[in-house]
Structure 1
């Protein structure tokens, strides 16, 4: 499996995403909202997109769990190994993700613009057609609203070490 930007958390808030240092957009936004960092730095606002920020595809971690189960069933059925992309096939700009975070949490995301990072592509979006049609995979939880809401719930319930 090739994952795109994994986000969200267990809906029961028992497990979620945490890296030290944290570099992923959604957890960094939540840290900024919660005052664990002063702000989110948006790396570039001059990309060739409708709002100048880069585009990424996000997939809910629970949808990846479902994909793994389907992948194991695929292998147990003797269908052999192959590569599947796992994403939604839709992308969102950084500014759009910030807007969804505000709607999901009820809080403004403190942010500022910084320079582009070397190597960042304008747009990275998955082609997940094979996973959808051949595995029967359905990324049903992979709306930004659900991913951010689940990550925020986990973050606020203390699962996220400060």
Structure 2
């Protein structure tokens, strides 16, 4: 059955409105009962159409105010050992591979690469986690990532989609669909 032009327009704009309401999902390294854990968060700040010159019409979201930024180059094969995050911070993988582990739960690891799944938020500071997490960098070349602490240790407003594991690839599909659609 053929779809009328008006029905096609309504379907298109209904889908577009859903995309505008889409929020960013990120894997967080959080803590509960003194143990670090992976969580999947949906940030409260929705994506909106950018009006910034050069990217006008694309989708953008605000991640919050930050205090500084550190550029890190880690050699292949480096093992950080178990540690806490020094502060609440964004982690942005730019190049390479990082595997994040939990000392008290070897059944779950997170492998991060550049792109949508290479953005994480770490909150397992010594105040909330006894041991923290571990990082291993098994790639064949260096891993480059940014550490971006939030201003005053702020944690972005969010809702927890999953409190016992990282975000899965299907948690990123709505925005990816808009960008490639």
TM-score, with normalisation over the residues of structure 2? 0.24
More helix by share: 1
Higher RCO (CA < 8 A, seq sep 6+): 1
More strand by share: 2
Q: If you compute each CA radius of gyration, which structure gives the higher value, 1 or 2?
A: 2
